[in-house]
Structure 1
Amino acid sequence: MSREIRLVGAIAVRPAILALIPEFEAATGYAVAARWELNPIVKQQIEASVPFDLVVINPNLVADLAAQGKLEVASQVSFGRIAMGVAARAGGQPLDLGSVAAFERTLQAAASIAYANEGTSGSYFIGLLEQLGIANEVRPKLVPTSGGQTAAAVARGEAELAVIPVSSILAAAPDVVLAGRFPSELQSYIDFAVGISTGARDAKAARVLSAFLTSAASDEVLAAKGLERR
């Protein structure tokens, strides 16, 4: 059987999973070959029959792929969730994000705001602007970015702020800092689940990796990277 496990996952979970892979490889002797894309792109690739063994993306997408016969139905398991946050350049003035009103003022005062225009987080943010009634004012300031480049846009000075999952902000340190999470009233957690391919080269190996990623022993490492267990 193959000693390499092909993992495909959402960009938002990349920092958390990468922190765990060396321990897994050392403990099991398996090697993990990982690639990362935005959630919808991962689903499209799997639907196009791109080979993989294990996937970590949004639960609804995992369920849909299982219904299509792309994933083992019984393999679906929750991985965790990531909160939405605001990123800023390191060394800047502290931002007030402690209330809905303060959050709105911060967005209104920003010169430019980066967001992932094709990802789950970006879709939520655009809808949130409409919900708050500030879309017309903030929309001209938005800087759409491709997957994995939202925090980097702040680091490069292309945007003053960015709205992305907390895990991606923490991974961009030290040039970028977590200015704060969304206020609790506006917070939207992005959930993730694990699924195993029906065409896995070594389904047993994929199950070993799934069990490792979802075990309580991994909680502390994941929390440090911005991923919370339910």
Structure 2
Amino acid sequence: MPGAAGSTLEPLPSSLAAMKSLFRKLAAFSFIAVAASAVQAAELHVMSSGGFTAAYEILGPKFAAATGNTLDTALGPSMGTSPEAIPNRLARGEPADVVIMVGYALDDLVKRGLVMPDSRVELADSRIGISVRTGAPKPDIGTVDALRETLLHAKSIAYSDSASGVYIQNEMFRKLGIEDRIRPKAKMIPKIPVASVVANGEYEIGFQQVSELLPVPGAQFVGRIPEEVQSVTRFAAGIPVGAKHPDEARALLRYLASPQVQDTVRATGLDPIAAP
């Protein structure tokens, strides 16, 4: 039907699925606006560990666009000795309004008095997967026995220096009964995505949380390891003591944990947490 000045109205979505998608987008936008309505625009300093980063990199700009806030983001592991690790950044006095990291590592910061106890928000669960170089045959990891044989025949194995790698090094190899035989050819990779050293041919197989494997070019995702030897990592977020913008930080945390964003969280390889 013609509109003002001879223009035409855009047709409504033709399918129920399209309409539902539109409603979800509108709801998400409205949620951000309401969450931030009581606060003014600010520059938020965010520290995020790898497991939730893919989701955050999609959702963060949407929050910023809707609220007028800007996000200054520093990436680093939830633990470890590297200077980039979030606890080490906080220890150096780097400014932070929000930290996004492995749940039990966040709990440790709460116990140490570095993060406000009442600010903790649970975000998603993350499972461990395997990648190989793009073009390489995908190994069989469908059962515990198949995974064991794949690792025994692999020439080299890499795993992260965060929660998934600590579990693999200290528990999973032992559970598989191959710890002594694996140790000489397996290495913990600090700072960088494990899939990157698989993509460049340094290592044949790489273990890391699925959400950290998927975005890396040159590596192909094989699948999640069997549930019998799986380790699920809960990601959470909180507000450091001394944050300059705690109100804006709480608005961001409410958005990242909201039902409206769970499709995005799932698409990045994470498992959303059921709403209470």
- The answer to whether TM tops 0.5 is yes
Structure showing greater Rg = 2
Check conservation: 1:11, 1:148, Cα contact below 8 A.
Answer: no
- Pick from 111, 130, 152: which aligns with 2:196? 152
Q: Deviations over 1:142-173 (max 9, x none)?
A: 13311223110001000011011001111114
State the distance in 2 between where 1:49 and 1:8 align: 13
Find the counterpart in structure 1 of residue 239 from structure 2: 196
1:7 corresponding residue in structure 2 = 46
1:187 aligned onto 2:226: no
Amino acid across the alignment from 1:63: D
Structure with greater strand percent:
1
Shift of 1:213: 0.7
Select the structure with the greater relative contact order (CA < 8 A; seq sep ≥ 6): 1
Return the offset for 1:131.
Answer: 2.1
User: Would the aligned equivalents of 2:51 and 2:235 in 1 still touch at CA under 8 Å?
Assistant: no
Instruction: State how far apart, in whole Å, the 2-side matches of 1:113 and 1:158 are.
Output: 9
What is the deviation of 1:2? 6.2
1:121 deviates by 1.1
1:229 is displaced (CA, Å) by: 1.6
For residue 196 of structure 2, give the secondary structure of its aligned residue in structure 1.
helix
Q: Show the 5 A alignment for 1:1-230.
A: 3-40=42-79, 41-116=85-160, 118-126=161-169, 127-173=171-217, 175-230=218-273
Give, as a single letter, the amino acid of the residue that structure 2 aligns with 1:209. Answer: L
Task: Provide, for residues 45-72 of structure 1, a one-character-per-residue CA deviation record: whole Å limited to 9, x for no partner.
Answer: 2234322000011222222222322222
* Alpha-carbon distance in 1 for matches of 2:176, 2:60: 40
The gaps in structure 1 that reach 5 residues or longer are: none
Task: Kindly indicate whether the alpha-carbon contact (under 8 Å) linking 1:80 and 1:227 is maintained by their aligned counterparts in 2.
Answer: yes
The whole-number CA distance in structure 1 between the counterparts of 2:159 and 2:228 is: 20
With the length of structure 1 as denominator, give the TM-score of the two structures.
0.94
Aligned positions, number = 228
* Backbone CA RMSD of aligned residues: 1.4
Give the alignment's TM-score, normalised by structure 2.
Answer: 0.79
